[in-house]
Amino acid sequence: MRGRVDQVKGDQLPPALQDKRFKGKVYRLAELVVDVPSLIQRLADLAGDGLLAGQAIEPFLEDGILVGLKVDGREIRAQRIVLSAGAGTAALLEALGLTQPAMQRRPLHMIIAKGPSLKPLYAHCLGGGTKPRVTVTTHPAADGQWVWYLGGDIAEAEGVAREPAEQIATAQKELRQLLPWIDLSTTQWATLRVDRAEPLQSGLTRPDNAFLAEQGRLLVGWPTKLALAPDFADRVIASLARDGIQPGPAAPLPELPKPPMGVPAWEQLLP
Ligand SMILES: Cc1cc2nc3c(=O)[nH]c(=O)nc-3n(C[C@H](O)[C@H](O)[C@H](O)COP(=O)(O)OP(=O)(O)OC[C@H]3O[C@@H](n4cnc5c(N)ncnc54)[C@H](O)[C@@H]3O)c2cc1C
């Protein structure tokens, strides 16, 4: 809320809030909504034939020094190795025999709702606490319906402790109280347990920057927010530039197995 906000009213309101029973105040934040599947597709296109689908990633050591990675037995020598596997990074570090940088997980129990009465809404619902009571993002499902992905306070500690059925009942109660004009009778529900992965920190402060640690040829980090992924990339590029790292002569790559596109959680859980 410290960012730039403008109050919106009437037909400027998001469609899901356009009802005479709506009593709250609505402010528009100057933030982007990113279509994540198309972002991933674009990154994959840009990566071209440099993408390799692998199962087993092991360190490639020479005289005890890390000189690259072995992916399913394929030896890849590299001037620099960047690990950015989100929650998977801790296990990769362990495979490399490293304990630093330490990672922490913050578990969430998200709720997924899909139904013909849901309209696009991207919003934080602020209550009295320091965290948003509910945060909603909307995603198009393959069958043309809209999916609401609900998080915020409801998905934090108490939500993590709830069983899925209880968590769904809590979300239904919240939505009936907050948005009683939305017909939930045909809505399908699921929950998703997912961890945020970030560098271990003391206290509850949240990072404002991407995190990158360097150790010889190895760079390891977490953007901590998708919005900070460009900051993460800038930090990697600055490190390469500082050390004068240039791509080596291009050799033709063999035909490599390509990773398939991921399938959004809602398509898996509510097909
Ligand atoms: C519920 C939720 C809501 C969020 N909402 C927002 C938001 O609104 N705005 C925002 O900016 N950020 C948000 N974030 C944070 C954002 O999702 C992450 O910061 C971002 O995805 C981090 O990107 P990443 O590529 O580092 O990690 P990830 O997106 O986690 O990707 C890591 C990838 O590495 C793969 N991987 C893991 N281990 C291995 C291995 N050993 N070998 C090969 N591959 C491996 C994984 O399968 C995964 O595909 C949210 C996070 C959560 C959990």
pLDDT in tens, 191-239: 999 999 988 876 655 667 899 999 889 999 999 889 899 999 999 999 9
Distance 101 CA to ligand 1 centre (A): 17
Does the C-beta of 57 come closer than 6 Å to ligand 1? Answer: yes
pLDDT in tens, 159-201: 999 999 999 999 999 999 999 999 999 999 999 999 999 888 7
Is residue 135 pLDDT above 90, yes or no?
yes
Beta-bridge partner residues of 108 = 194
Nearest CA, atom 34, ligand 1: 85
Distance 127 CA to ligand 1 centre (A): 27
By C-alpha distance, which of 29, 85, 100, 30 is closest to 54?
85
Counting Cα atoms < 13 Å in the Cβ hemisphere of 255 gives 0
Distance 90 CA to ligand 1 centre (A): 13
Probe residue for ligand 1, chosen from 72, 160, 196, 263 as the CB with the greatest number of ligand atoms within 8 Å: 196
Which sign does the torsion angle of CA 172, 7, 3, 33 carry? positive
138: three-class secondary structure by DSSP: strand
Does the C-beta of 227 come closer than 6 Å to ligand 1? Answer: yes
Beta-bridge partner residues of 193 = 109
Tokens representing residue 109 in the block:
């129990």
Rounded to the nearest 5 percent, the helix, strand and coil shares of the chain are 30, 30, 40
d(Cα 210, Cα 216) in Å, to the nearest integer?
Answer: 20
Distances in whole angstroms, Cα of residue 173 to Cα of each of 40, 166, 252, 265 = 34, 11, 58, 23
According to the model, what pLDDT value does residue 253 have?
81
Q: Of 119-128, 146-155, 163-172, which gets the smallest average pLDDT?
A: 119-128
How would you write 2-35 as a 3-class SS string? Answer: CCCEEEECHHHCCHHHCCCCCCCCEEEECCCCCC
pLDDT in tens, 45-67: 998 888 999 988 899 999 988 99
d(Cα 112, Cα 93) in Å, to the nearest integer?
Answer: 32
Nearest CA, atom 46, ligand 1: 85
Domain ranges of the chain: 54-102+204-255, 105-196
Nearest CA, atom 52, ligand 1: 196
Distance 223 CA to ligand 1 centre (A): 9
Distance 86 CA to ligand 1 centre (A): 5
pLDDT in tens, 12-41: 999 999 999 998 899 998 888 889 999 999
According to the model, what pLDDT value does residue 205 have?
55
Nearest CA, atom 37, ligand 1: 88
According to the model, what pLDDT value does residue 206 have?
62
Does the C-beta of 211 come closer than 6 Å to ligand 1? Answer: no
Nearest CA, atom 50, ligand 1: 225
Beta-bridge partner residues of 268 = none
Is residue 109 pLDDT above 70, yes or no?
yes
Neighbours of 159 (CB within 10 A): 23
pLDDT in tens, 67-102: 999 999 999 999 999 999 999 999 999 988 888 899
Single pTM value for the model: 0.90
Does the C-beta of 196 come closer than 6 Å to ligand 1? Answer: yes
Beta-bridge partner residues of 214 = 219
Probe residue for ligand 1, chosen from 225, 228, 231, 268 as the CB with the greatest number of ligand atoms within 8 Å: 225
According to the model, what pLDDT value does residue 255 have?
86
d(Cα 50, Cα 194) in Å, to the nearest integer?
Answer: 29
Please say whether the beta carbons of 82 and 236 come within 8 A. Answer: yes
